């Protein structure tokens, strides 16, 4: 298994894959570890999670540089990712107690009735390369703290990040077997899901991968949570603050070099402000610094892999062939590394790749609409439903539009982002279930009803 630096196009390190015997040993360790871990006090589990946050902060530069070298993330954004991982550790270290506290439910007068939250067992997490630490920590922080144990099948281009996460938890004092990375290919996932020792599975990734995992989990009657792709609408109404909307829009489209499921992808702009917004937006996109991801000034680094850049170019070419106009960018940069420039497409047909597919790179599709109602209709005319953003000076209007956008989250006058305090997830082809917040920690627990009848056997 190779880790290839997308900036230099060179192999940075090679790793031995795990074979069937290695996987069997890991599953056995996880099963044994769960029996002890579930009995560990919640206070201890919270303390260990807080310690993991400390380890992350103490080694911020080390882990940031690792991500930058493995998948090209600009170094300033990589540091922010490490900090966010520490934040989610802090959040659940502080709040897991209240989230998992037994809930009293009023029942008969002569009975005690409540709900308790018990762990399920070993949970398989199939995770992507684009946020190689954050995607995993937002899984492990709640679910290890609730008493489960974790098995990670990370993306094959970020094996170093997978092992680094193991290192963080080991340095924090977690017992052996509570969290393990499996360096395996996707073909081995089906057998792991089918194993009786694995009790549930979560995946963040593409639609095809999500459907495959959902089918395998369903066949084995195991709980699954899926966070899949998105083509998030970014609605600019006729009373929007255009300077802020354009500046934030460029950031929302190009964060992580455009490789984010919740990046703004379809810019839906009211006719009254369309020309002015497009002009400002193109200026903001062209002003971004594209280059060495280890340079502090870089806004946009390389795409994570060459094949991803090629796939993006095919989508752009087809969209242009169908009638779209390239306002800026539009083809790979002539330089070493997998660089694709910030790109803006206008006159985008709805049935083109830029109109109905997810473009996983720094390419924005811009649409002109005549009314607020048309903006909502176009926003919802998508197979996806992950996030969305609405821009307006009238906050009540913004909340009304947000209420009508079909997605797991909508932000008014802000870009879409995840937050440990709030539930995160999608609808439609963007998946199901929630991560983060109280809703997230309850996804992989047995919400057990307990009914205690009083008076039986009393003298």
How high is the mean pLDDT in each 10-residue block of the chain (459 residues)?
A: 96 96 98 98 98 98 98 98 98 98 96 98 98 98 98 98 98 98 96 98 97 98 98 98 98 98 98 98 98 98 97 98 98 97 98 98 98 98 98 98 98 98 98 98 98 85
Together in a domain, 273 and 133: no
The residue count of the chain comes to: 459
Closest to 266 (Cα-Cα) out of 393, 370, 430, 388: 388
Together in a domain, 86 and 194: yes
Q: Which domain holds residue 145?
A: 2-228+430-450
Residue 256 lies in a domain: yes
Which residues are catalytic, by number?
227, 261
Residue 423 lies in a domain: no
The pTM is what? Answer: 0.97
Residue 190 lies in a domain: yes
Distance between CA atoms of 42 and 146, rounded to whole angstroms? 7
Together in a domain, 221 and 270: no
Together in a domain, 335 and 203: no
Residue 45 lies in a domain: yes
Together in a domain, 79 and 219: yes
Residue 418 lies in a domain: no
Together in a domain, 216 and 73: yes
Together in a domain, 276 and 210: no
Q: What is the pLDDT of residue 385?
A: 98
Together in a domain, 211 and 148: yes
Residue 358 lies in a domain: yes
Distance between CA atoms of 6 and 117, rounded to whole angstroms? 43
Q: What is the pLDDT of residue 459?
A: 55
CATH (domain of 350)? 3.40.309.10
Distance between CA atoms of 386 and 244, rounded to whole angstroms? 23
Q: What is the pLDDT of residue 457?
A: 77
Q: Which residue has the tokens 């540089």?
A: 65
Residue 457 lies in a domain: no
Neighbour tally for 422: CB within 10 Å: 15
Q: Which residue has the tokens 């897991």?
A: 96
Q: What is the pLDDT of residue 264?
A: 98
Task: Give the total number of structural domains in the chain.
Answer: 2
Together in a domain, 207 and 320: no
| CB proximity list for 343: less than 8 A, separation 6 or greater | 285, 316, 326, 328, 329, 330, 362, 363, 364
Distance between CA atoms of 438 and 424, rounded to whole angstroms? 11
Closest to 283 (Cα-Cα) out of 367, 239, 344: 344
Together in a domain, 244 and 209: no
Number of H helices, E strands in the chain: 15, 20
Residue 209 lies in a domain: yes
Together in a domain, 388 and 439: no
Q: What is the pLDDT of residue 458?
A: 64
Together in a domain, 289 and 221: no
Phi, psi (rounded to 5 degrees) for 426: -130, 180
CATH (domain of 132)? 3.40.605.10
């Amino acid at each position: 298994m190779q880790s290839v630096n997308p900036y230099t196009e060179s192999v940075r390190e090679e790793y031995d894959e795990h074979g069937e015997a290695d996987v069997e040993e890991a599953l056995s360790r996880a099963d044994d570890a769960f029996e002890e871990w579930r009995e560990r006090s919640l206070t201890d589990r919270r303390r260990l999670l807080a310690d993991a946050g400390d380890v992350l902060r103490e080694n911020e530069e080390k882990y940031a540089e690792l991500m930058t070298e493995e998948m090209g993330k600009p170094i300033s954004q990589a540091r922010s990712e490490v900090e966010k991982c520490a934040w989610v550790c802090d959040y659940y270290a502080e709040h897991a107690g209240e989230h998992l506290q037994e809930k009293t439910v009023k029942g008969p007068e002569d009975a005690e009735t409540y709900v308790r939250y018990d762990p399920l067992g070993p949970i398989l997490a199939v995770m992507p390369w684009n946020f190689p630490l954050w995607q995993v920590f937002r899984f492990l922080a709640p679910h290890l703290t609730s008493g489960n144990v974790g098995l990670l099948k990370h993306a094959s281009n970020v094996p170093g990040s997978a092992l680094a996460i193991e290192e963080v938890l080991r340095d924090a004092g977690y017992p052996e077997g509570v969290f393990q990375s499996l360096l395996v290919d996707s073909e081995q996932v089906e057998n792991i899901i089918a194993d009786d020792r694995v009790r549930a599975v979560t995946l963040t990734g593409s639609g095809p991968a999500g459907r495959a995992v959902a089918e395998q989990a369903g066949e084995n009657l195991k709980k699954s949570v899926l966070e899949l792709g998105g083509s998030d609408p970014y609605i600019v109404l006729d009373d929007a603050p255009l300077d802020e909307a354009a500046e934030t829009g460029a950031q929302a489209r190009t964060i992580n070099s455009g490789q984010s499921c919740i990046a703004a992808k379809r810019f839906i702009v009211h006719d009254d402000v369309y020309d002015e917004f497009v002009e400002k937006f193109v200026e903001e996109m062209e002003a971004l610094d594209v280059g060495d991801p280890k340079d502090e000034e870089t806004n946009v680094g390389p795409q994570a892999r060459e094949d991803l850049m090629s796939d993006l170019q095919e989508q752009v070419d087809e969209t242009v062939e169908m009638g779209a106009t390239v306002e800026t960018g539009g083809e790979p940069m002539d330089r070493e590394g997998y660089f694709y420039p910030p790109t803006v497409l206008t006159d985008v047909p709805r049935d083109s790749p830029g109109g109905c597919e997810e473009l996983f790179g720094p390419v924005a599709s811009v649409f002109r609409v005549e009314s607020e109602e048309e903006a909502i209709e176009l926003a919802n005319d998508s197979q996806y439903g992950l996030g969305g953003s609405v821009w307006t000076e009238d906050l009540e209007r913004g909340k009304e539009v947000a209420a009508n956008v079909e997605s797991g989250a909508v932000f008014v006058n802000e870009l879409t982002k995840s937050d440990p305090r709030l539930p995160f997830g999608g609808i439609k082809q963007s998946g199901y279930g929630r991560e983060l917040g109280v809703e997230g920690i309850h996804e992989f627990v047995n919400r057990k009803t307990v009914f205690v009848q009083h008076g039986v056997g009393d003298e």
